[in-house]
Amino acid sequence: MKTIIGLEIHVQLATATKLFCGCSTDYQDDEPNTHCCPVCLGLPGALPRLNRKAVEYGLRVAKALDMRVLEESTFARKNYFYPDLAKAYQVTQDDKPLAVEGIVEIEDDEGHEKIIRITRAHLEEDPGRLVHVAGGSKYSLVDYNRSGIPLLEIVTEPDMRSPQEARRFLNKLRTILEYLEVFDGDREGGLRVDANISIEGSARVEVKNISSYKGVEKALTFEVTRQRNMIRRGQTVARETRHFMEGRGITTSSRGKEEAHDYRYFPDPDLGPLHVADRVADIDLPELPTARKDRFMEQYGASANHARTLTGDPRLADFYEEVAHVDPALAATWVADTLLGELNYRDMNITAVPPGHIIELLELLKIGTITDRAGVQVLRTLLDACVEGRPCETPAAIVEREGLGKTAGDEFTPIVRAVVAANPQAVEDYRSGKEGALNFLVGQVMKETRGRADPRELRKIVSESIRVDGV
């Protein structure tokens, strides 16, 4: 039984002002209804004036996804009643969208390259937002700060075959959008998804209201299981719209609410047609994720995995390129594995890390001033300070203050002697040819020296010390 998934993605475009008026889009932490004017409030008589930047952003996406921009595209009104919809219609695009027929490359579940076809991309305005008052109030409040935020709706063909593929597609799309600088990935609700999912031969179910891209895999996995179970039991999957309950990780039927809608689309008489196809040629696209990944492998000798991880976020990739000159391979490991892990652990953003500090850390590691283990310790100390907003000490200062510098071998001689003396059995085992015993002894010395010693060097010292002592 084949799983068939198609997505509709609503992307908030990161323009400074709204789609049809000059109100600022930067409302996230502000009081409700403070970023409004007659236009986005839908006051009688107000008229829309198209934001050229939003069109330009849409065209950038269209070009990056290899889409065909229509010679003429038009705006339409989508009519429906909802209290958060100021004009009782949404200005969107219907039969003449901005662009059609694009592609996104992803990896399928076997790791093979796969093409997801993009059906269309069109511009539309975000509605306002209902705020439900806690405690079973008889009323809801409306906040129009979001009303008129530009959205780009991207619709795919039903080309995905598993929830994991859908997640990979979204990750890829999101990365492309971030590379194009048309989208702010940190913004809550900046990317919202409706998913169409069916098991081959059965009815299609639309899952609405998936407001995080992480939720998509969850919602789809739930749906696949639910639909497969129904089919297994001989039941019929109903063609319906379902609602994703993010908190509970389940979907519920929203029958009756969405089904009967006739949106009565018609061309918006307040907005003329767009003729922007000829502008596409002049758009300079930045290097996109796939090209950058290939270049990282080529230029820095990064492994495919490292290259993919590093280019998965343009800011991470930029960061890597800033520090790579110290030693590309060392930098790749430290940024893609160590640093990224420590950032995730702290829920920190790469932008909070000063690249100069990491360059210094990499230099200390490269010339052997500190060991890998001490390096991790320096990194943690550094990030802990950054995350709390304290002034970040430089790695050299941390090494100095904490005495983490790798010391010359002879400084350890007394410790090595003491460990050898305290573990006669292990010494005996090593002499009789058990290599593992040496690891144990080295480990003991490492513990005593708090990781300042280079394990490889230490191995040499310990084994020499045993030989010398034995003579």
Partner 1 sequence: MAGTLNFSPDDRYNAFITTCGEAPFGDGALAGIAVAVKDNISTAGIQTTCASRILAGYIPPYDAHVVELLRGAGAAIVGKTNMDEFGMGSTTGTSAFGPTKNPVDLDRVPGGSSGGSAAAVAAGLVPMALGTDAGGAIRCPAAFCGIVGFKPTSGRVSRYGLIAHTSSLEEIGPMAQTVEDVSRLLSVIARYDPRDSMMTDRPYDHRPSAEIKGLRVGIPAEYFGEGVDERIGEQVRSAIGVLEDLGAELVPVSIPGMRYALPAYSIICMSEASSNLARYDGVRYGPAVDTKKSWHEAYQDLRGEYLGVEARRRVLLGTLTLSAGYAGRYHAKALAARQNITRDFERAFSDVDIIAGPTMPTVAFRPDEVTDPLTLYRLDALTVPASLAGIPAISVPCGRVENLPVGLQLMGRRFEDERVIDVAFAYEQEGRA
Q: Which of 1, 28, 30, 43 binds partner 1 (CB under 8 A)?
A: 43
Residue placing its CB nearer to partner 1 in the complex, 271 or 280 = 271
Q: Which of 2, 29, 81, 471 binds partner 1 (CB under 8 A)?
A: 81
Min separation Cβ 46 and partner 1, Å: 7
Min separation Cβ 45 and partner 1, Å: 4
**Choices 73-81, 112-120, 239-247, 296-304 (CB under 8 A): range interacting with partner 1:** 73-81
Tell me, by CB under 8 A, how many residues bind partner 1.
29
* Sites for partner 1 among residues 106-145 (CB under 8 A): 138-139, 142
Q: Which of 44, 136, 433, 436 binds partner 1 (CB under 8 A)?
A: 44
Residue placing its CB nearer to partner 1 in the complex, 141 or 203 = 141
Residue placing its CB nearer to partner 1 in the complex, 91 or 365 = 91
Confirm or reject binding of residue 445 to partner 1 (CB under 8 A).
no
Residue placing its CB nearer to partner 1 in the complex, 115 or 130 = 130
**Three-class HEC string of the chain:** CCEEEEEEEEEECCCCECCCCCCECCCCCCCCCCCCCCCCCCCCCCCCCCCHHHHHHHHHHHHHCCCEECCCECCEEEECCCCCCCCCEEEECCCCCCEEEEEEEEECCCCCEEEEEEEEEEEEECCCEEEECCCCCCCEEEECCCCCCEEEEEEECCCECCHHHHHHHHHHHHHHHHHCCCCCCCCCCCEEEEEEEEECCCCCEEEEEECCHHHHHHHHHHHHHHHHHHHHCCCCCCCEEEEEECCCCEEEECCCCCCCCCCCCEECCCCCCECCHHHHHHCCCCCCHHHHHHHHHHHHCCCHHHHHHHHCCHHHHHHHHHHHHHCHHHHHHHHHHHHHHHHHHHCCCHHHCCHHHHHHHHHHHHCCCCCHHHHHHHHHHHHHHHHCCCCCCCHHHHHHHHCCCCCCHHHHHHHHHHHHHHCHHHHHHHHCCCHHHHHHHHHHHHHHCCCCCCHHHHHHHHHHHHHHHHC
* Sites for partner 1 among residues 236-265 (CB under 8 A): 262, 264-265
What mask, x for binding partner 1 by CB under 8 A, covers residues 13 to 42?
-------------------------x---x
Interacting residues with partner 1 (CB under 8 A):
38, 42-50, 77, 79, 81, 83, 86-89, 138-139, 142, 262, 264-266, 269-272
